[in-house]
A and B are shown apart, each in its own frame.
Chain A
Amino acid sequence: MNELIDKLKQELIEVLNLEEVQPADIDNNAPLFGDDGLGLDSIDALELIVLLEKNYGIKLNDPKEGREIFKNMTTMAEYVSQHRTK
């Protein structure tokens, strides 16, 4: 799981253009959205949906599903490991 989390962090930094963030800066359990933690926004959430589909073959049609999945790195990695098709 830790390996997947590290990989997801790298991918997240790349697709969301978080130029000044290092993987080590992202706490596995800190919120990704909102003013605490990473402070991602609604476009970032949509971009993460594209990431899941492109890299892991997971298709989310309802963006609301993303809220739970993208809560933090741990929830995201758990979802990916359970649902990935590639």
Chain B
Amino acid sequence: MRIASHCRITPNRCLANGQPVPVQRSERPYLTDLYHSLSMGYPKFFKMDNLCKAGVLAAELVLRGSSVDGLTPRHDVAVVGLNSSSSLDADLQHLQHLHPDSYFPSPAVFVYTLANIVTGEIAIRHKILGESSFYVIPEFSAHQMAKVIATTLSDANINCLLCGWIEVLGQELDVLMMLIDRLNGPAPTAQNINSLYNER
């Protein structure tokens, strides 16, 4: 088992496999600028909440050059997300639509009030038909991530796993996405995950 590739996104900064991803900045939000710099041509991106935007961009970066090409349906790939505040960022948006003086709940906002939608968005974008799961823990924990990776790969049908810490709340943005496969290489141990998380 190895970490085949990884990506780190923090406010105003993105590293893919340790290398800074060049982003042409504008007055738009950082994630929008990052999207444009990746030339994804995926207009659905603009419909997503920030949690999904962050997860989809990170997945895009770690899957570039991998065998998960977005064209072939992949039954042997799983996508698992973890964070601390679940979908609270979208929850607060939905709440704004429930004001008694202007009560118009929006389905396009409400659908994002589930944390696992980000794993669904990634699965759609890359035709991933294996497992999708989402876990909530108090704070980033390389130890918990290593455990989740081990448990997900105990499904013998899964050869490849996208596992991401995707924490988004207001201005807070903290993502570590990893692509894990069953080949030999740097293992997804807590120690290795921690060093990727602390990469600068």
One of A20, A43, A54 near B108 (C-beta < 8 A): A43
Number of contacts between A and B (CB, 8 Å)?
28
When the two chains form their complex, are residues A46 and B43 in contact, meaning their CB atoms are under 8 A apart? Answer: no
What 5 new A-B contacts, CB under 8 Å, besides A15-B108, A47-B108, A50-B105? A17-B47, A20-B46, A21-B43, A47-B107, A50-B106
* Interface residues of chain B: helix, strand, loop or mixed (majority): helix
Closest 6 CB pairs of A and B: A19-B46, A46-B107, A17-B46, A47-B108, A17-B47, A54-B104
- A54 surroundings in chain B (CB, below 8 A): 104
Q: Interface size on B (CB < 8 Å)?
A: 9
A residues neighboring B (CB under 8 Å) = 15-21, 43-44, 46-47, 50, 53-54
When the two chains form their complex, are residues A19 and B108 in contact, meaning their CB atoms are under 8 A apart? Answer: no
When the two chains form their complex, are residues B43 and A19 in contact, meaning their CB atoms are under 8 A apart? Answer: yes
Q: Compute how far the CA of A16 lies from the CA of B46 in the bound complex, rounded to whole angstroms.
A: 9
CB distance from B169 to the nearest CB of A (A): 21
One of B43, B105, B111 near A43 (C-beta < 8 A): B111
Instruction: Report the nearest A residue to B109, measured CB to CB.
Output: A47
